[in-house]
Structure 1
């Protein structure tokens, strides 16, 4: 096994055969350029299902006070491409990816979707070689820590819905949003304000939805709803 893969295996904390790990790191662009060798798409498909099951079971056990909708929001947060990409970047999976020339030139090693897919593919490979127990251990090591901030995750997952619920509970009028934007089409910044009762809060982001979400989060905090 190459020294580079040994380094990655040490970071993962679980043994895995070189062939399976190599496949898990092989993007289809590299596969097409090298005789259609096995790529990571099938392993990613498997890993996605394993991840979803393990996280769902943990949420059910850990958060008995949460309703189905809140559990779904938490799950979606921690298995999202964004969350998985951050985990993958933390152990530098990008450095080990096998990419085609075009993907390499366009910064594929840092693309969130490629990193997230590779993480799921590695999880799938561990399941193939070792079964559910060892695969679950990997999820526990890298994904479960994200659940320690479950209150913040719930707040950020659907802040506009949560703000609406708080307004209803307190007999306030529905939140009213106003959004503006500045800058050219290719580099716009959106600013949003939301009024709930006597509270006026603001937020900024690269999209209208993002700005309104940031404003809603600020309003929730101002109302003491976090």
Structure 2
């Protein structure tokens, strides 16, 4: 049996021969699409059979791949659409499930599900990393395991499902694939106040106050923020998200767990 690396490279290497070029509408030409074993496998994992296979193809094209292969559309537009779809579905579910929650709590619940870390975990369960088409540099840099790439690919898949079907069917697919994250959201509600919790914990343990270091990647319309939190010179946690605040909250939540287990400086 071929190793994962060899299989992944094969999926990427034959990308041009089986990926339709854009037509005048910006969509890949359906007539050039061949449904490969990789696409069939991915459709089965998603639980949805595409009528227009070019949509799923496009959802797997990272911008680093299209930069090296002219005439092909990246997954960024589908990602934009899928992000909006996920936000709507999760908001609708939380609204119906928690009639006693105010707008603030509902927003917090949605943030727990709709963030890069949570979405990348779902993408990992689907093994999206082995299907994504990456440029040579991104692949060499471990792009198949990057949180932002996996989360964005999952959003693009949801956008593709929506365009291929309708709102009802897309709602069902999103709900099915995010069901565990949605069900766990209530128990993780305290995570969103993690920065305050971390500061109080550090003070109680006579440790230095937390210091956050944040960087961002990507174009202005699709930035991903990465945060690290230090106590003294010790890195205590890291996180990512589509806003600086979200990334810092993720990092603080991770740091709280580590600090509780190891209260004394390393």
Measure how far apart 1:155 and its partner are: 1.4
Unaligned runs of 5+ in 2: 1-34, 210-227, 239-247, 261-266
Residue of 133, 148, 151 corresponding to 2:183: 148
Corresponding residue of 2:237: 206
Cα distance, 1:43–1:191 mapped onto 2, change above 3 Å: same
Corresponding residue of 2:171: 136
Corresponding residue of 1:89: 124
Cα distance, 1:42–1:218 mapped onto 2, change above 3 Å: same
Contact 1:159 1:217 in 2 (8 A): no
Q: Distance in 2 between matches of 1:66 and 1:29?
A: 42
Residue of 105, 111, 121 corresponding to 2:156: 121
Deviating runs (4+, > 4 A) in structure 1? 160-164, 188-192, 207-219
Q: Distance in 2 between matches of 1:205 and 1:66?
A: 32
Q: Distance in 2 between matches of 1:156 and 1:126?
A: 31
Largest Rg, 1 or 2: 1
Contact 2:237 2:252 in 1 (8 A): yes
Corresponding residue of 1:180: 208
Is 1:110 aligned to 2:141, yes or no?
A: no
**With structure 2 as the length reference, what TM-score do the two structures score?**
0.64
Contact 2:198 2:252 in 1 (8 A): no
The aligned runs of 1:11-160 (5 Å cut-off) are 11-16=45-50, 17-159=52-194
Cα distance, 1:28–1:119 mapped onto 2, change above 3 Å: same
Measure how far apart 1:115 and its partner are: 0.4
Residue of 28, 31, 41 corresponding to 1:7: 41
Q: Distance in 2 between matches of 1:85 and 1:212?
A: 17
| Aligned residue-pair number | 194
